[in-house]
Amino acid sequence: MKLPLPFRLVVYTLLVFFALYFLFPFFWVLVSALKAESEIFRYPPAFWPSSLQFGNFIKAWQAQPFATYTLNSVLVTVLTTLGQLISCSLVAYGFARFEFKGKGILFVLLLSTMMIPWDVTMIPLYMEFNLLGWINSLKTLIVPAFFGSAYFIFLLRQFLLGVPKHLEHAATIDGANAFQTYFHIFLPIMKAPLTLVAVLNMMTVWNDYLGPLIFLQDRSKYTLALGLAAFKGVHELQIIPIMAITTLMIIPPVIVFMFAKRSIVEGISGAIK
């Protein structure tokens, strides 16, 4: 049903208003990074610099080894995303498509782990990684992802529960075993929710500060979020370099989100083509 024109105008006006409201902080960070030093503290503030200072980004980037920080962040983000996709999809497939004794109890126990704050497990994790000799290693950030996430498993399980049974019946008739059915039938179907899991995990890991702060000590192992925090400590009164590095840190998640937004919507709605 087509909505009346006045109602549509009100809805579109509100959408534009809230879009500008949420985009303004990003705009201000970018504009501040492009200003000259004399303009940053001007009052009233200028909404656009008199001349664009792109050299601010180069100076800020060279102030600390941000190339190393970025490489570490990319490595951790890619490997943890891969680990989450593999482990969570397998576990979700097992909970959604198989019947076994104690399945309900195990699933409730899995969901109950979502109620435990990460701060509570922080000390036991540190003791465990210290026992393994992994402190000050990127393995402390990567390996846990290969054991799955309760939230992502729940998300994928709910999606798989909506897949018709006749698909795996047909695969069984064709001679496919359980893993072949998972790999050739269910993985292609799960493209949208897996993309959603990948994007959510990427944004979480890319912006993670507390984990690297606890487990990493050597600056050569720092991720970009931890490197930016250290950079702020050194350049506390220099707004422009901080804004420049913050802008560069925002760009990758925005690009990933823009390319994956359609799959994200499909993954949330649980659509199956």
Question: Greatest CA separation found in the chain?
Answer: 75
Give the pLDDT confidence score for residue 168 in this predicted structure.
79
The structural domains of the chain, ordered by start, are 1-53 (no CATH), 61-269 (1.10.3720.10)
Q: Token pair of 262, please?
A: 């359609």
The pLDDT-based confidence of 266 (bands split at 50, 70, 90) is low
Give the pLDDT confidence score for residue 269 in this predicted structure.
58
Does residue 75 or residue 45 have the better pLDDT? Answer: 75
Q: Token pair of 165, please?
A: 């049974």
CA dist 246 and 271 (Å) reads 35
Give the pLDDT confidence score for residue 271 in this predicted structure.
44
CA dist 200 and 176 (Å) reads 32
pTM here is 0.84
Per-residue pLDDT tens over the stretch 152-177: 999 999 888 888 888 878 888 888 88
Give the pLDDT confidence score for residue 42 in this predicted structure.
76
Alpha helix ranges (H) inside the chain = 5-33, 55-63, 66-97, 103-112, 118-132, 139-142, 150-161, 166-173, 178-181, 187-189, 191-206, 210-215, 224-234, 239-269
pLDDT score of 272 more than 50: no
177 within 8 A of 234, measured Cβ to Cβ:
no
Range with lowest mean pLDDT among 40-44, 208-212, 269-273: 269-273
Q: Is the Cα dihedral 88, 94, 95, 96 positive or negative?
A: positive
Give the pLDDT confidence score for residue 273 in this predicted structure.
46
Q: Which residues of 246-259 are buried (b: 16+ CB within 10 A; e: fewer)?
A: bbbbeebeeebeee
Give the pLDDT confidence score for residue 127 in this predicted structure.
92
For 27, 108, 151, 204, 226, the CA distances from 113, given in Å and listed in that order, are: 38, 9, 9, 18, 27
